[in-house]
Amino acid sequence: MSDNRESTTTGEMPQALSWPERFRELATQARDERLKSFYEAGCVGPETPMKDVAFVGLDFETTGLDPNKHSIVSIGVVPFTLDRVQLGGARHWLVKPQLPLHQTSITIHGITHTDIDKAPDLDDVLGEVLGSLAGRIPVVHYRSIERPFLNVALKWRIGQEIEFPVIDTMAIEAHLHPDRQPNWWQKLRGQQPVSIRLTDSRLRYGLPHYPPHNALVDALASAELLMAQIQHHFSPETRIGDLWL
Amino acid sequence: MQAELIEIRNHLAQHSPFDEMPEETLDKIVSSIEVAYFRAGTEVLKFGESNAYLHYIRSGAVEMYRRSGELYNRLGEGEIFGQYGLLMSKTVRFPVTAIEDSLIYLIPDEIFQYLWQTDENFTDFVEVEDRSRLRSALSRREKSNQPMTARVTRLISREPVTAPNTVRLQEAARIMTEKGVSALLLMDESGDNARLSGIITDRDLRTRALSEALPSETPISEIMTDQLITTSSNSFIFEAMLTMLHNNVHHLPVMEGDRIRGVIALSDIVKHESQSSLYLVSNIYQQQDIKGLKRLSKEVPNTFVRMVREDANSHMIGSAMAGIGRSFSQRLLELGEEKLGPPPIPYCFMALGSMARDEQLVVTDQDNAMVLDDSFDPAQHDEYFLALAKFVSDGLAECGYAYCTGDIMATNQKWRQPLRVWKEYFADWTENPKAEALLNSNIFFDLDGIHGRTEYTEELKAFIAEKASNSQRFLAMLARNALNRTPPLGFFRTFVMEESGKQAKTINLKRRGTAPVSDLIRVHSLACGSKAQNTFNRLKAIGKTRLIPEDGVDNLRDAFEFIAIVRIRHQALAIEAGRQPDNNVRPEDLSPFERSHLKDAFQVVSQAQKFLKFRYNAQVGRNV
């Protein structure tokens, strides 16, 4: 999957440098101290076995799907390794979204307007957020949200972009189920397409149902899903370079 | 705790022992949790490895094994494991393997120790020794149940009213009227110390003196009751009640050694705790025909339910139900004798099985027999006794006591025999024991005389006690039979778990629970020459010997009580819901508390069975 890279505008690595080298380079270029410390914490090399990697489950709730039009509403993180998720390190932030006028009455899952009014701007908590990601590989379900949204948010606030590798549990599911859509014969027999959504993917591994639409719970859900995927389809010795994107 | 993790807190809060914890404690736990995932088939805990976590199953299932590799338990969502090691040596005592993909919440030792020291309920739940957990579960019930543990002395409101046993009828009646008592104690003052020698009650005056028009100068010793039934001053009120039920008397002298503390009357007890079973029994004796008895028998289930609601223990309920059953039988025998005329020769009507053990419940059939005087001549007498037996048996069936499917009833000629034949039966069973034959005659080793010459039954009890304790072969055979029915391993989700790993939908709590216990206790009891019939009383007798290890007696008593009370509650719930009560319980109908304690109880029974096998050298092929 390592060759399946997307465009540079989403914050992915633009060149053939390895991630540890790229981090060192970006650390020297960073003007914002918070961003600088993030890069200085470094990144593991692509040969590192999964069992030795520090991960962080990461999830954003946003006002929409387009990082250029929509905003981050909440952020959930939970640190983990392949054998343990540390609930004690779990964090959750509400941040004030930059809403266009016509969207001021939008309802965001379980979050009230009072909550939003009181919430800080992302800039106020950026140090804490980046601190919780530093030295860890973020694990997300569907990579086109967290990294691009954070990238755009930083561009607007500190005038610099951010790059980092992620593990996408949805991409792993997609890879495991290349023929998700039933063919005409299977359709005829009532076969349903294989869903790679977070909740449905978890069911395949005997993971419990969690109520959706909470950034922290979803971060935890992705973390648990990765642990299960590795035990079922990969190995603790699998190189992280084979899985990150 | 991050408020967003409330989902995890809520899950914990739905399961014992977390369900009784305050939110702050749960938050503390959630913040400490580490989550681990185990694919089906992987080992979660290896024997002897160190373990510093209490494990909570969020999803999936695991199996625990003994060191020998034998299955110890199967656990599912919301259940915990790993506590044994934490309390002992921080090493794994029971290895654990995931049998389904499992998500496990790990609670660190530090939090575990904190909970163990601060939360009594948690401590009870995870206690290493299954036994002590069972004990504390029972004692917690008893605490909430004060009236049932009050002593008889609480009911004594005045000094005993006595008179010399030399007084005349008129004088006795005058004293009773003057002092306003319904019973007068009569003292033998011929020796140095006055000694209680009899009692006379209002009812005696009516039935024995007035109705017979006895002269007022009749010596009281001619009509007083001299076969005294008394109770000791340290007995419980419920025990006194049972004594009254058992013997159908309404007054009990309370003795402290030789000294009389007072007299308690049935009415005192009724006032004290509205025991409806006593009303029912006294009503039974007022019925004039089977129709009346049948009508009254409809009240039996309600009485049963009321006792369960009042939190009576299994001994009280079993004795009360047996007392009621005995009263129906006794009244039917009286009615039968009225109809057929007085018996041509003396006889004793015996109750067998659960009624004799004072362990009767609502779902029961009749097991009875007749011991006739040795002067019995079939040609001359049997027509009468057959007719009487049939009258009683049919009457009992009318009153809800189904005919015995094994035909163990006095209507069966084989079980309507003179005393000497009964002795031959018992001699044969004990001296030439055959496993098959013994299986069917087990029930005869629980016997109680309920009408007529009850001393015949007492003679048989003594005969059995002596024969049985001297026959190792008989005991080995009886022990072997007692191992036929085994308890299950425990529960898993909505299933009953067998030791083989197989699962069943329901468990018969009589066949797999109380019966195996009363069976194995009967063996020990006969071995130590006891004449006790009730399982608890037999245990007391066994406890005085060195037949089984010291704590074995207490463990068995607790296990028996717990299984019995769950069975009783299950039947009471069925009655209240308008269903036919039975002994089959579905695991989903049990509370988590009942499930975990039943498992402990089953384990006690299982170990007691292993000991029985070893102690009496009983060779068996186990079959359920």
Q: Which residues of B304-320 are buried (b: 16+ CB within 10 A; e: fewer)?
A: bbbbbebebbbbbbbbb
Q: Higher pLDDT residue, B560 or B259?
A: B560
Considering only CB atoms, B2 lies closest to which of A206, A216, A227, namely A216
Where are the extended beta strands (E) located within B485-527? 490-492, 495-497, 503-504, 507-508
Rounded Cα gap, residues B98 and B57, in angstroms: 10
Residue A3 lies in a domain: no
pLDDT at residue B31, rounded to an integer:
95
Instruction: Fold for B322-463, please state it.
Output: Beta Polymerase; domain 2 (3.30.460)
Q: What does the pLDDT read at residue A13? A: 54
The whole-number pLDDT of residue B171 equals 92
A87 shares contact with chain B (CB less than 8 Å): yes
Q: Do A231 and B3 touch (CB under 8 A)?
A: no
Mean pLDDT for A213-242 is: 95
Q: Could you say which residues from 40 to 79 on chain A have a Cβ atom under 8 Å away from some Cβ of chain B?
A: 76
Query: Could you tell me the pTM of the whole model?
Result: 0.72
Cross-chain Cβ contact B103/A208 below 8 Å = yes
pLDDT in tens, B563-577: 999 999 999 999 989
In whole numbers, what is the pLDDT of chain A averaged over residues? 87
Which structural domain, as residue segments, surrounds residue A65? 8-242
Q: Quick one: pLDDT at residue B140?
A: 56
For A:192-231, CB contacts with B below 8 A are 205-208, 210-211, 214-217, 220, 223-224, 227-228, 231
- pLDDT over 60 at A7, yes or no: no
Q: Which CATH architecture has domain B3-128?
A: Sandwich (2.60)
In this prediction the ipTM stands at: 0.89
- Report chain B residues touching chain A, CB-CB < 8 A: 1-5, 7-8, 11, 30-40, 42, 58-60, 100-103, 106
How sure is the predictor about B233, in pLDDT bands with cuts at 50, 70 and 90?
confident
pLDDT in tens, A76-88: 999 999 999 999 9
β-pair type (B231-232, B251-256): parallel
Report residue B144's pLDDT band, with 50, 70 and 90 as the boundaries. very low
* B561 φ/ψ angles, rounded to the nearest 5 degrees: -60, -45
pLDDT at position A101, please? 45
The DSSP code for B470 is: T
Let me know if B93 is exposed, middle or buried by CB neighbors in 10 A (0-12, 13-18, 19+): buried
Instruction: Give the architecture-level CATH label for domain B159-228.
Output: Roll (3.10)
Residue B80 distance to chain A (closest CA, Å) = 17
pLDDT at B271 over 80: no
pLDDT at A58 over 80: yes
Contact (Cβ atoms closer than 8 angstroms) between residue B1 and residue B30: yes
In this prediction, residue A41 has a pLDDT band, given cuts at 50, 70 and 90, of very high
% residues pLDDT > 70 (chain B): 94
pLDDT at B213 over 50: yes
Average model confidence (pLDDT) across chain B: 88
pLDDT digits (tens, 9 = 90+) for B165-192: 999 999 999 999 998 888 999 999 888 8
The pLDDT score that the predictor gives to residue A9 is: 46
Residues 6+ apart with CB under 8 A from B586: B494, B505, B506
Q: What is the pLDDT of residue B146?
A: 46
Q: Which residue has the higher pLDDT, B245 or A123?
A: A123
Chain B residues with CB under 8 Å of A211 CB are: 7
- What pLDDT was estimated at residue B624? 34
In a domain, A2, yes or no: no
Whole-number Å distance between alpha carbons of B589 and B494: 9
Q: How far apart are CA B548 and CA B526, in angstroms?
A: 13
Residue A135 lies in a domain: yes
Residue span(s) of chain B under CATH 3.30.460.10 come to: 322-463
Task: Read off the pLDDT of each residue in B360-372 and give the average, rounded to a whole number.
Answer: 92
pLDDT of B430 above 80: yes
* Residue A185 host element (H or E): helix A184-188
To the question of domain B471-615 being in CATH 1.20.120, the answer is: yes
Q: Which of B194, B203, B257, B258 lies closest to B225, judged by CA?
A: B203
Closest residue by Cα to residue B9 from B62, B60, B56: B56
Mean pLDDT of B596-616: 91
Residues B246, B322: Cα–Cα separation, whole Å: 8
A109 belongs to a structural domain: yes
Q: State yes or no: pLDDT of A6 exceeds 60.
A: no
Interface touch A205/B102, C-beta < 8 Å = no
| Closest chain B residue to the Cα of A91, Cα to Cα | B2
CA dihedral B279, B280, B281, B285 (to 10 degrees): 100
Q: How confident is the model at residue B136 (pLDDT cuts 50, 70, 90)?
A: low
Cα separation of B604 and B135, whole Å? Answer: 12
**For residues B375-396, average pLDDT:** 97
Provide the pLDDT for residue B133: 62
Q: Rounded to an integer, what distance in angstroms lies between the CA atom of residue B515 and that of residue B353?
A: 11
pLDDT(B38) > 80:
yes
Min mean pLDDT across A4-13, A127-136, B589-598 is at A4-13
Q: Cα-Cα-Cα-Cα dihedral of A153, A157, A158, A164, to 10°?
A: -10
Q: Which of A180, A178, A173 is nearest to A198 (CA)?
A: A173
- More confident of the two residues B278 and B340: B340
Tell me how far CA of residue B160 lies from CA of A183, B152, B154, B167, B251, in angstroms.
97, 14, 14, 17, 12
For chain A, the domain total comes to: 1
In chain B, list all ranges with CATH 2.60.120.10: 3-128
Q: Is residue A75 one of the residues assigned to a domain?
A: yes
Nearest to A29 by CA among A162, A149, A222: A162
Give the span between the Cα atoms of B231 and B19, in whole angstroms.
Answer: 45
> B67 vs chain A: nearest CA distance in angstroms?
26
A189: Cβ–Cβ under 8 A, 6 or more apart, which residues?
Answer: none
Q: What was the pLDDT predicted at B621?
A: 45
B363 pLDDT above the threshold of 80: no
What angle is formed at CA B295 by the lines to CA B290 and CA B300, rounded to 5 degrees? 110
CB-CB contact of B93 with B49 (8 Å) = no
Helix (H, G, I), strand (E, B) or coil at A211: coil
CB contacts < 8 Å between A and B, how many? 73
Tokens of B316: 């009280």
